[in-house]
Amino acid sequence: MRTVIRQRPCDSLDDISHQLREAFLALRQAIEAENPVVIVVSAPDLLGQDSLEGAALATGLVGLMRAATFEGSGKGWRVNVLAIDPEAEPPAEMLDIATQNGSLNGQILNLGSGHFGKIVP
Amino acid sequence: MKQPCALVTGAAGGLGFAIARRLSEAGYALLLVDMNPAVSDVAARLATAGARFDHCVADLSTEDGITSVSEAVLATCLPLHLLVNNAGITRDARLQKMTSENFDLVIEVNLLAAMRLTLGLASQFADGSSVVSMSSRAALGNFGQANYVTSKSGLIGFTRALAQQWSPRVRANVVSPGLVDTPMTQAMPDDVLAKLVQKVPAGRIGTPEDVANAVTFLASEQASYITGQVLTVCGGRSLAP
């Protein structure tokens, strides 16, 4: 079993709060169930290329992933971020890699088409 | 020429105080904001000949608080040349023990309040002004701080988007301090602090002035081609093993 947490379109500060809380609770539940986690975010939002709210949410979710990895990598928790174009579906094989590769943890796997030549999020 | 005006949130804290003092030295008039009424004492301590300090006690997590600050800007700090989003809190706990209330609270104060204030002041920024938001090296990950790390990481995305949407009128950047000599680190046991300092390639703990210098630089004309970036002030800790 794996847990996939997915960023949804976001257009208000209340929605940022709501989606971050949902992700936090889902992540904690997954950890308790010993499930690996993939957080799927919008790749353009990581670079702030869309809305202010979406960008804050996407990078906030990256922070949540990093905090969980920092705290739990020694306990076997596995959490990664998959960044994709907003209209795309996360490819099943990438979800497999993100959850089944033993050494892959705390990473951003970026499948977005617009990140070449940009900063590393 | 009229003195440029800067608004600093979280100004009653050690870091806010250092930032305000350094900005004053750089020639800014200041509006100091904090929910702690002690901010009035800070303003009084900083007041020197030729410098101008006003203060506003406000809770930035409420609409009333934002309105109070906006009114204070209109009264004392117009047009605004610099906003420093420095207010922040911690409510640390291991992820599995952290309550959703404390998760929400830290997100609200550290991330959403900064966004709300910045957007609420949008029309009051001068051309060529800037926003500097305080993140943290902890945005790269830290133990027992899922709420704090999430909030400080979210500020980075907000800043990246703000930089693109408000250019060329307003620049937006982030300062991410590492281990800094503040009341929080002073409260650590000596041996714990010494171990943390050992991991800093610069070989010392950072000072509030190190951080204040970074803020002042990003706000300055010397940084006029820098926007949407993160300046990590951590003595190299974010690279070291």
- Domain containing residue A60: 3-110
Integer Cα distance of A49 and A42 in angstroms: 10
B148 is catalytic: yes
Which one, of B170, B82, B161, lies nearest residue B128 by Cα?
Answer: B170
Specify if A115 maps to a domain. Answer: no
Distance from CA of A58 to the nearest CA of B (A): 7
Asked if A17 and B115 come within 8 Å (Cβ–Cβ), the reply is no
Q: Is residue A116 part of a domain?
A: no
Q: Which residues of B touch A12 (CB under 8 A)?
A: none
Q: Considering the domain boundaries, does residue A74 fall inside one? A: yes
- Any domain includes A62: yes
Q: CB of A15 within 8 Å of any CB in chain B?
A: no
Q: What is the mean pLDDT of residues B107-122?
A: 96
The answer to whether residue A73 sits within a structural domain is: yes
Q: What is the rounded CA–CA span in Å between residue A66 and residue B143? A: 10
How many separate domains does chain A show?
Answer: 1
Which CATH number characterizes residue A40's domain?
A: 3.40.50.720
Average pLDDT over residues B98-116: 97
Helices A13-32 and B146-166: angle between axes, nearest 10 degrees: 140
Interface of B to A at Cβ within 8 Å reads: 94-96, 98, 100, 103-104, 107-108, 111-112, 115-116, 119, 139-165, 228
Q: Of A21, A24, A70, which is closest to B142 when you measure between CB atoms? A: A70
**The complex's ipTM?**
0.97
Is A119 within a domain? no
Q: Does A21 touch chain B (CB under 8 A)?
A: yes
Q: Which residues face A83 on adjacent strands?
A: A41, A110
Q: Please answer yes or no on whether B96 and A31 come within 8 Å at the CB atom.
A: yes
In chain B the first and final C-alpha atoms are separated, in Å, by: 49
**Rounded average pLDDT over A16-44:** 97
Q: For residue B213, is pLDDT > 80? A: yes
Q: What is the pLDDT of residues B170-185, one digit of tens each?
A: 999 999 999 999 888 8
Encode A35-67: b = buried (16+ Cβ within 10 Å), e = exposed.
bbbbbbbbbbbbbbbbbbbbbbbbbbbbbbbbb
From the CA of A105, how many Å to the nearest CA of chain B? 13
Q: Tens digits of per-residue pLDDT, B71-84? A: 999 999 889 999 99
Nearest CA in chain B to A67: B141
Catalytic residue among B103, B125, B148, B166: B148
The pLDDT value recorded for residue A103 is: 87
> Is A54 a member of any domain?
yes
Q: How many CB atoms lie within 10 A of CB A113?
A: 11
Contacts of B163 in chain A (CB under 8 A): 48
Å between B164 CA and nearest CA of chain A: 7
Q: Is residue A12 assigned to a domain?
A: yes
